[in-house]
Chain A
Amino acid sequence: MQTEDRPTPVKLPPVEEELAQRCAWLIRLRWLAVAGVFLGALAAWLLATGLPVPHVAFCVCGGLILAYNLLFLQILRHLRRQEISTVAWGRFASAQFLTDWVALGVLVHLTGGIASPLLFFFVFHAILASILLPPRPAYGHATFGVLLVGLLALLEGAGLLPHRPMEGFEGIDPRDLRAVATRFLFFATAIVFATHLAGSIARRLWARTMELTRMKDSVEAAFHRTRTLYDIARAVNSSLDLSQVLNTIVARTTVAMDGKACSIRLLDEEGRLLKLSAAYGLSDSYLQKGDVDPARSPVDQSAMTGWAVQVPDVAEATAFQYPVEALREGIRSVVVAPMLLRGTAIGVLRLYTARRREFSDEDVGFLMAIASQGAAAIENARAFHHLEELEEAKAKFVFLVLHQLKTPVASLRSSLSILEEGFLDEVDERKKALVARMVRRVGGLQDLLHDLMALGSMKGRVTGRAKGTVDLSAVVREVLDKVQSEAERKRIGIDAVLPDGPVTMSGDADDLDKVVGNLVENAVKYTPDGGRVSVTLVADQSRARLVCRDTGIGIGEEALGRVFDEFYRAGNAKQFAEGTGLGLSLVKRLVDLYHGDIRVASKVGEGSTFTVELPLE
């Protein structure tokens, strides 16, 4: 039985576990023996066959066995809690057998020495010992049992111990040397034979059991590794967040390799130092030991040439940059695998174990595979980051462009207005109508710039600006004031149902003004003259709900799913009024930023209902 270093996520290693279970079995069997002793005493008393000794002695004997079995049970429980070697388990089993032999010897003596019928039980015990123990201790125990019985016979024969034959088993006189010797010889032969037979069968079974255990174990380990590789590959492909992917890799690798810890170090921009990028299972103080300089760490240096390097024992290694720190951290063995990107190492993946361990080719191959997955993740993330930067620059550029367009468009509008209002020369009604149309159109361009800039300025914002507390109810009231004149012009009645008290939430008044304003202005805009618009705000402890309902032109079924798309404008909306097609996109983005929810229900020709729910905390 050799010590195994297989990954065992729970409890004891398989061989130790097997031994522990066998010891437990021995203890369970002993309860039967205890019961047998008490039952024997009881039967002998009832049948009055007359034991050679008082029942009391017999019962005391049973009691002693009971007591030491309890003791062994405690020891077993104690031993299970700590990681002890197979040798220790063997000693524990031997101790039990020795105690048993002595107890059995006493019982045999009490029941007639060499003539005792209990002598047979020595055979059972020999069998048990040879099942539980390796051959040499098993024969040792057999010899011990034989010698014990021989000594007993000698002592009784010499009269040094009283001979107490049982009724019906008096056939042998302990002083009859020939009979005693014959009996002893048969006894010894039986014991040796039983030990040999049971031992050889048990060994074969044991070998098979161990083989199966190991196979199961390696299949499980292989499965676990495949699973790990698969999970890592999935993480690499599904996430562009580099630190998240690398953290997944180190954590999963540690578990799959049954290691103590794992870390990833990447070359810095100058390609000189290996800087820590992710770690699992290492203490902060160890991580703060500093960057690894491959020039001073031959292990990393040779790993960077493309081959994984093993350090089976840090204590004996000289090729390690921080051996003292590593030992203090409880690190015993290390493997360093290169992270290769198209043949060039961009960093290293290190696996640490707490116990001394030689890594198999399989182990190393697995680590290399994981390291290359890590390299792929790094490339993905870097490419994406680069792209994001390009996008960000582009977005900023567009923003500036829009900003630059604002002034000329505004001056265009004012110069047309000057014309419209007749400051230059008189304009007749027809010309005035055309110029007014141009002014309105340029105003539309201003709206477009304004809305797109509002939309653009929200890029990169991840949450609603929590500038302070806003009274949503006041925001709604202000918006209603703003649309008042337009509603009056179109003879649209506005019903407002607002709570009496304030509806406070954290956020930015401008943001919420945009949300409410766009919805209410749209309602007025897309409702024909003489229609109705109703605005309802209700709130409880956690949420506020704003419902904006109109009797307007409505939104067709085919357009309902797209009204929040940028620049989308439903056919009937285009016909009915001017718009940029950005207002509702802006509302949706803002509501999303505030972790709220927006819904729309509508029927063409009857009107639309927009419902916004916003969390209040």
Chain B
Amino acid sequence: MRRPAPDDPSIEGVTAPENRLINHFFHDFKGGLSTVIMCMDALREGIEGPVSQDQDRWLEKAERNCQHLVSLIDDFRDLTRMEDGSYPPEAEPVDPAAMFEQLSQNVADEAARRRIRTAFDLPDGLPGPRMASPLVGRSLTRMYGVLVDCTRTGGLLLTTVHVQGTGPRPELVIRIESEGVESDAALLESVFDKLSQAGAGLQWGRGYTLLFCRTAARYLGGDLVLSPWPGRGTRVDVRLPLGPPGQDRG
């Protein structure tokens, strides 16, 4: 069966109004949140006079919620754009070594709080900085956020990275293993079913984060696979091509 290309004009008529509606919604919703966030910041900075410490803490928490909503909205929007092929090709310099350094810093606090041991096993031969889609860093950041949450208190979160293929476009092969409840393969796969999120959400149902990461990985020409880590927990295998994006997509 021919899957119609998104820019097929005959299909435009079917999808366009729906997409316009969704885009419009994203815009209005994010605009509203942005204004609220700006107001919170201004308030905390004393634009209308000083705020008490309690109030500041309260506002900070509310602002974090707001920021979380913004990133949710961004993810949802980009998820739909990746699915219909209208995600803009962008590139930014990505240095894999620095990226993993950053990722390990991101998770450090939460890991320490819950006594999770994190280990990053990086090879010496990681490629140098490259132009790659901002989706790479963004998806990995999101994913580690979920993985730390899913690792049991006092458990291990182990990351093993190697590079596959040489030349202009090597592939990063990342295996992340998280100690916790071992789920069967079917339950893990159901995490990616958009419509049954609610039911599968016991352990991995962190919103649509993993779905977003897999969609991004596939969009970039790689993949993300969840499998049981026998006897110990769950394993995530990610392949991500590193190189100038836009080469193999128009």
Contacts and interface: CB of A to CB of B under 8 A. Distances in A.
Please say whether the chains A and B touch (CB closer than 8 A): yes
A387 interface: yes
Nearest to B76: A401
B21 A405 contact: no
Contact of B207 (A396, A404, A438, A445): A404
A416 interface: yes
Contacts of B24: 566-567
Interface string A403-440: 01100110110011011000011011011001101100
A434 B51 CA distance: 13
Contact of A442 (B36, B43, B61): B36
B198 to A, nearest CB: 8
Given A404-B207, A445-B33, A448-B32, A424 B72 contact: no
Interface in B23-78: 24-25, 28-29, 32-33, 35-36, 39-40, 42-43, 48-49, 51-52, 54-55, 58-59, 61-62, 65-66, 68-69, 72-73, 76
Contacts, number: 117
A358 interface: no
A412 B2 contact: no
Given A382-B1, A424-B54, A448-B25, A387 B11 contact: yes
A387 B194 contact: no
Nearest to B211: A397
B39 A434 contact: yes
A86 interface: no
Interface string A381-410: 011101110010111111011001100110
A386 B69 contact: no
B194 A393 contact: yes
A441 B37 CA distance: 11
B104 to A, nearest CB: 28
Contacts of B21: 452, 455, 566-567
B230 to A, nearest CB: 32
B124 interface: no
A228 interface: no
A445 B32 contact: yes
A393 B192 CA distance: 13
B65 A415 contact: yes
B69 A409 contact: yes
A580 interface: yes
B49 A428 contact: yes
B195 A397 contact: yes
A25 to B, nearest CB: 61
Contacts of B66: 412
B137 to A, nearest CB: 23
Contacts of A418: 58
A384 B10 CA distance: 10
B69 A408 contact: yes
Contact of B39 (A400, A437, A452): A437
A281 interface: no
Interface string A451-470: 01001000000000000000
Nearest to B84: A394
A438 B40 contact: yes
B122 to A, nearest CB: 35
Given A387-B11, A408-B68, A441 B35 contact: yes
A398 B22 contact: yes
A409 B30 CA distance: 12
A52 interface: no
Interface in A73-130: none
A444 interface: yes
B18 A441 contact: no
B28 A448 contact: yes
Given A400-B197, A404-B207, A566-B24, A430 B52 contact: no
A379 B4 CA distance: 12
A455 B17 CA distance: 13
B55 A424 contact: yes
Interface string A359-388: 000000000000000000001001110111
Nearest to B42: A434
Chain A CB within 10 Å — which of B1, B39, B62 has the most?
B62
A452 B52 CA distance: 38
A437 B35 CA distance: 10
B29 A445 contact: yes
B58 A419 contact: yes
A33 to B, nearest CB: 73
A400 B193 CA distance: 12
B49 A391 contact: no
B160 interface: no
Contacts of B22: 398
Contact of B69 (A412, A419, A427, A566): A412
A199 to B, nearest CB: 66
A580 B42 CA distance: 25
A382 B80 CA distance: 23
B14 interface: yes
B43 A431 contact: yes
B62 A425 contact: no
A431 B39 CA distance: 10
Interface of B: 1-4, 11, 14-15, 17-18, 20-22, 24-25, 28-29, 32-33, 35-36, 39-40, 42-43, 48-49, 51-52, 54-55, 58-59, 61-62, 65-66, 68-69, 72-73, 76, 80, 83, 194-195, 197-198, 207-208
17 contacts: A384-B14, A387-B15, A391-B18, A397-B80, A398-B80, A400-B195, A404-B72, A408-B69, A412-B36, A415-B58, A415-B62, A415-B65, A418-B58, A424-B55, A425-B55, A428-B49, A452-B25
Which 5 residue pairs are nearest across A and B when measured between Cβ atoms?
A425-B52, A567-B24, A430-B48, A424-B54, A415-B62
Given A412-B36, A415-B62, A567-B28, 13 more contacts: A386-B4, A388-B14, A398-B80, A400-B194, A404-B207, A408-B65, A408-B68, A412-B62, A416-B62, A427-B55, A430-B48, A430-B49, A435-B43
